[in-house]
Chains A and B, each alone.
Chain A
């Protein structure tokens, strides 16, 4: 049996009075790509953001239930969110490089953890950029401002930045929605390579993308997980009628 990375039990999340996640139960397996699909506002991004506690930043959010990561409940007050986020990296919808050099972008996270050794940082920068298939593009201009890169390169830089933290999990919140098809393809190829080392969760609005890149797929609707299964089953043989309607494009 495969190792379980996140074991979610009875997870509820409220924005003030509005319940955005309703009694979620799901087991996310390690070293697989799990796609979260569903119409806008269904709670898939919100769920993603509970896994690295990014929802803590939003005023008035309350959660209950459990998310066990390797057996430890990460929703507990005792959990150090800084440490959690070094283990659970995140890539956002819009590429968000910092206004500094490519090198400094990658070194940002490690430096925040107190790594100052130039040699260690150099190695991290190189290995992370290689892992994100960006090294050959940028190795001669590491000191150039990252804002000057193309959108696709910026997004791969953001992936490299996350990898530099040596995380266990990478969360991707619609990572290609701002990119053109060619850049999208590159990111998808990258995801395929990265899953060997990392557990990946990806929120996507594209059915094709979900079917191309993921091993498992969870279909969200109105804050609930309607169906969770292997991607193959979800797309070829959905058990729930709503799932079938959504993936065939009849609503959403």
Chain B
């Protein structure tokens, strides 16, 4: 009897510890959120939210705070980074999980995972010293610090996320599914494209969305190569936009936070809130996709 009571007590203690640590992480998130929101509030006593996100005039010295150009820069770099990074990442994942011999597959996966652990400032540094001059020469423009350069660096940075999560999604497809397809006289490629990828769809989509989130939130590397010009890129033709310098939402915060005060500081926190909303939207979509994935299997 005593033994059982002790076990129950240990059980209760363990539950309390788990609960406590869970609370810590939830509270941390709540604290950051509340702090950012509170710090952003003073701005909205001066500027309304709609103006804040639709105006492209950002001039702290004249109390004009509009972040439209930063939103555009963030969206443009994120889209191009995904357009480049996701296909490369997916094909790499297919290569690793389906085609490569085991040794080569683990070597490639290892290399990709190293890519994930490189600090972002190194990516930025690489971008600044290698990609920027290259872009400058390639397109014969005055400066190579452009949204295009930033997109390329971001594409590299989202690769590990896309590759490793898509690889696990593909590897998680039961072997019986492959066999079922091959036993019907399907080729290996038909099996991969018509059964495995549909089966792993939700995992693959999740990996892409997480990559997207990473591209949107990346700061340091983008700041080093995007040029950070405080102006609305010329959108037509779109190549013009990508070959001009631009400042992303994250770039805006890090560029000015060090010396900002008062409403200016509040505007930077508000920029953070907008960024947070974007990230929330992505995460809600991820949850939806995952739920759908569970439903079908």
Residues of A within 8 A of B (CB): 52, 54, 57, 82-86, 89-90, 92, 94, 96-100, 108-109, 112-113, 145, 147, 158, 161-162, 165
Contacts and interface: CB of A to CB of B under 8 A. Distances in A.
B194 interface: yes
Given A99-B199, A112-B194, A161 B184 contact: yes
B281 interface: no
Contact of A100 (B183, B184, B187, B198): B198
A109 B184 contact: yes
B174 to A, nearest CB: 7
Among B174, B177, B183, max chain A CB count under 10 A is at B183
Contact of A99 (B176, B183, B185, B297): B297
B7 interface: no
Nearest to B177: A96
12 contacts: A52-B183, A57-B182, A83-B185, A86-B185, A98-B195, A98-B198, A99-B199, A108-B184, A109-B186, A112-B181, A147-B296, A162-B184
A99 B198 contact: yes
Given A108-B181, A108-B194, 18 more contacts: A57-B178, A57-B179, A57-B182, A82-B187, A85-B185, A86-B185, A92-B176, A97-B180, A98-B199, A99-B199, A108-B184, A109-B186, A112-B181, A145-B296, A158-B180, A161-B180, A162-B184, A165-B185
B190 interface: yes
A158 to B, nearest CB: 7
B185 A113 contact: yes
A96 B180 contact: yes
B259 to A, nearest CB: 55
B182 A54 contact: yes
Contacts of A82: 185-187
A82 B178 CA distance: 14
A44 to B, nearest CB: 17
Contacts of A97: 180
A108 B178 CA distance: 13
Interface residues of B, number: 20
B184 A54 contact: no
Contact of B176 (A83, A84, A89, A94): A94
A39 to B, nearest CB: 23
Contacts of B180: 92, 96-98, 158, 161
Interface in B153-188: 174, 176-187
Contacts of B185: 82-86, 109, 112-113, 165
Contact of B187 (A52, A54, A90, A112): A112
Among A83, A84, A85, max chain B CB count under 10 A is at A85
A220 B184 CA distance: 27
Contacts of A94: 176
Interface string B190-209: 10001100110000000000
A236 B282 CA distance: 68
B177 A98 contact: yes
B291 to A, nearest CB: 15
Nearest to B174: A96
Contacts of B198: 98-100
Nearest to B201: A99
Contacts of A113: 185
A86 B75 CA distance: 49
Given A96-B177, A98-B195, A108-B194, A89 B183 contact: yes
Contacts of B181: 98, 108, 112
Given A112-B190, A145-B296, A147-B296, A96 B182 contact: no
B293 to A, nearest CB: 10
B37 to A, nearest CB: 42
